[in-house]
A and B are shown apart, each in its own frame.
Chain A
């Protein structure tokens, strides 16, 4: 019997030690190094919807921004269903990671790397639908890899892309273009090239698009 209790103590010590040691191994921190100045690769954001849509909306957004998450999860599904899939509107997503957010640039990088494999919008949805990561303050690198696996990315390619900051220049270019257009916060919208000043709700967008569509007929 005494051997049994010794075994219990050994399991507790070894198991506790393994878990403690394992928890101390952290992944490489998200990119905080200076970002290279705009790489002009001619990229102007991922789009949703028909190229023949009469109206285009450009959204400047930040994956860590709670208002952007709220818009993406509450308003955007309605906009997709009523305006984008019906061919009325084409939607363009531009990155505008705010400097106050610790991981938003890293999230933008993860989304760009998903986009490289044709799954930008799937990663976009993961980042906004599971937005708890933005409130915990924890390094989200491992969670983003989970998202990448969930949406079926080739994880080796994803890792290489993120670790190499392959699209950091593209993200910075998007920020610079947004600043030049007058973007000051997120989410900001441009409808037909004009800054949208209304409320970011699907109803307001629908009313605006309806009026624009009529005037353009």
Chain B
């Protein structure tokens, strides 16, 4: 239960971060608050879009899905449901893999770091770890009877 709550909170924070970056990308925000990072350089690079879709928007969708799925998983009848744990783990693994790809682009192609992206990467990594732990501790026999 605690792990799923943590996933929901982290997904909400990630959703806020991704929304912030997406609003910048579509021109609603004029400037990113980035401190000493290179946020705008990263966000205006060709790698900030995948097939014409802003990466930040994909982040919004991903975190929103994790948030909703985590909330569903907190409902009493789904707490011990392995299907929810499996879905969370699968979605988090997808998000983590995408995060690894984006971080590699920052480090090895752009040679620039966006602090918000690092924040998102940390959040996604934590969600991934929690989701895997949750899956490991949810026995398959615990699925509710039909």
List B1-41 residues whose CB lies under 8 Å from chain A. Answer: 5, 8-9, 12-13, 16, 19-20, 23-24, 27, 29-34, 36, 38-41
- A142 near B44 with CB under 8 A, answer no
Q: How many residues of A contact B (CB 8 A)?
A: 26
Chain A residues within an 8 Å CB radius of B45: 130
Contacts of B12 in A (CB 8 A): 8, 11-12, 15
- For window 85-134 of A, CB contacts with B under 8 Å fall at 130, 132-133
Min CB–CB distance A195 → chain B (angstroms): 35
Nearest neighbor of B12 in chain A, beta-carbon distance? A11
Are A11 and B13 touching (Cβ within 8 A)?
Answer: yes
Contact A4 B41, beta carbon cutoff 8 Å: no
B112 within 8 A of A: yes
Report whether over half of chain A's contact residues are helix, strand or loop; otherwise say mixed: helix
Q: What range describes how many residues of B lie at the interface?
A: 20 to 34
Cβ-defined contact, A142 with B27, below 8 A: no
The answer to whether A139 and B38 touch across the interface, beta carbons within 8 angstroms, is no
Contact A133 B30 (CB under 8 A): no
Question: Which residues of A sit under 8 angstroms from B111, Cβ to Cβ?
Answer: 150
Which stretch from A19-27, A75-83, A160-168, A178-186 is at the chain B interface? A19-27
Closest A residue, CB atoms, query B21: A19
Is A157 close to B, CB under 8 A? no
Q: With the chains together, A151 CA to B41 CA distance in Å?
A: 12
Is A136 in the interface zone, CB < 8 Å from B? yes
With contacts A4-B5, A11-B9, A138-B27 taken as known, whether A22 is within 8 angstroms of B33 at the C-beta atoms is yes
Nearest neighbor of A27 in chain B, beta-carbon distance: B31
B112, A150: Cβ atoms under 8 Å? yes
Given contacts A19-B20, A23-B20, A23-B29, contact A143 B9 (CB under 8 A): no
Inter-subunit contact B16/A130 (CB<8 Å): no
* Shortest Cβ gap from B9 to chain A (Å): 6
Is the beta-carbon distance between A142 and B23 smaller than 8 angstroms?
no
Contact A26 B5 (CB under 8 A): no
CA distance A130 to B47 in the complex (A): 12
A23 to B58, CA, bound (A): 21
Q: Give the contacting residue for B27; candidates A11, A136, A147; CB below 8 A.
A: A136
- Give the shortest distance, in Å, between B67 (CB) and chain A (any CB): 9
Known A23-B20, A130-B45, A146-B40; further 20 A-B contacts with Cβ < 8 A: A4-B74, A8-B12, A11-B13, A12-B16, A16-B16, A25-B33, A26-B31, A27-B31, A136-B27, A136-B44, A142-B31, A142-B32, A142-B34, A143-B44, A146-B34, A146-B38, A146-B39, A146-B41, A146-B112, A149-B38
Spell out B's residues near A (CB within 8 Å): 5, 8-9, 12-13, 16, 19-20, 23-24, 27, 29-34, 36, 38-41, 44-45, 74, 111-112
Q: Which 4 A-B pairs have the closest CB atoms?
A: A146-B41, A143-B40, A146-B38, A15-B16
Which residues of A are at the interface with B, using a C-beta cutoff of 8 A? 1, 4, 7-8, 11-12, 15-16, 19, 22-23, 25-27, 130, 132-133, 136, 138-139, 142-143, 146-147, 149-150
